[in-house]
Amino acid sequence: MSEDTRSELYAELAAVGPYGTHPGHALITMVEPHPGHEYAYNRWYEDDHYYAGAMAMPWMQAGRRWVATRDLQLLRYPEKSAIAQPVTAGCYLSTYWITAGRYDDHMRWTVAVNKRLNRDARVYHDRTHVLTAFQNHEATVYRDGAAGPRDVHALDHPYAGLVLQVVEADTPEQRAPLLQWLRNRHLPKRLAGSPAALVTVFSPTPLPGDRMTYVKQVEGVDTRLTLLWFLQTDPRECWNPGFTGLDAAVTESGLGRVELVAPFIPTVPGTDQYVDRLR
């Protein structure tokens, strides 16, 4: 006897609700495997969790994993970060796009699936969530205007690197002016002539109360913005002066401060490449 999957409901669900391609939301998760567990964690995430805990779910339309080898970790700043303690913590980053208007639907599914995975001993516990947050898309700024890949392609296009930047407004009321300054002034200026093709800007949302207990509640949901810079060259080749001084620029705006600037390169799926270079 086959398992009941309630498949008759799928045809009904497919006929209702938003189903555009715009990445209206994201899951951004930076994780540190515990010492001695780097290889096992990498295999679990790539072979099982990336699919069963993410890509197989409804409305999660794209994903990519990134890694920070030790030399990349040492480029991070500021040294005293509200995100990562120490600032080098969190050597793996996973980024996922979620269809606009489907946040609530996806959240109900992901909480249920992760509870099931936990019950079935398919969750790797020897890891620490340094930064894990679902996010709402606020803006995308392009270096080349209408030319080049759009944000919907960003996790599939073969970008050579990514820089995660977290900025924090001094007050909730200042986040909107901070976003406006980033979108209209700061980011177009920094992108011009740079190896970064685009920057996406997101704002974090609270995790549901019935989330898994090993994932801490999101901080700064009223004040933070999360930026993803998609690079056409290895971040080590353009770090100085391209990505140094971002903290000073935000501070000078008088609208907030930078809590993290962290470079990554893409993982090579199906391999353990870079795992021996994390420490």
For residues 131 and 219, the answer to whether their CB atoms sit within 8 Å is no
DSSP class per residue in 57-123:
STTEEEEEEEE--HHHHTT-B-SS-SS-SSTT---EEEEEEEETT-HHHHHHHHHHHHHHHHHTT-S
In total, the chain counts a number of residues equal to 279
Predicted confidence (pLDDT) per residue in 14-67, tens digit: 899 999 999 999 999 999 999 999 999 999 999 999 999 999 999 999 999 999
Predicted confidence (pLDDT) per residue in 156-215, tens digit: 999 999 999 999 999 999 999 999 999 999 999 999 999 999 999 999 998 876 655 656
- 1: pLDDT confidence band, cut at 50, 70 and 90? very low
Beta strands 60-67 and 92-99 are antiparallel
pLDDT (mean) for 3-10: 88
Predicted confidence (pLDDT) per residue in 84-141, tens digit: 999 999 999 999 999 999 999 999 999 999 999 999 999 999 999 999 999 999 999 9
Full-model pTM: 0.95
Q: Which residues pair with 66 in a beta bridge?
A: 93, 266
For residues 30 and 204, the answer to whether their CB atoms sit within 8 Å is no
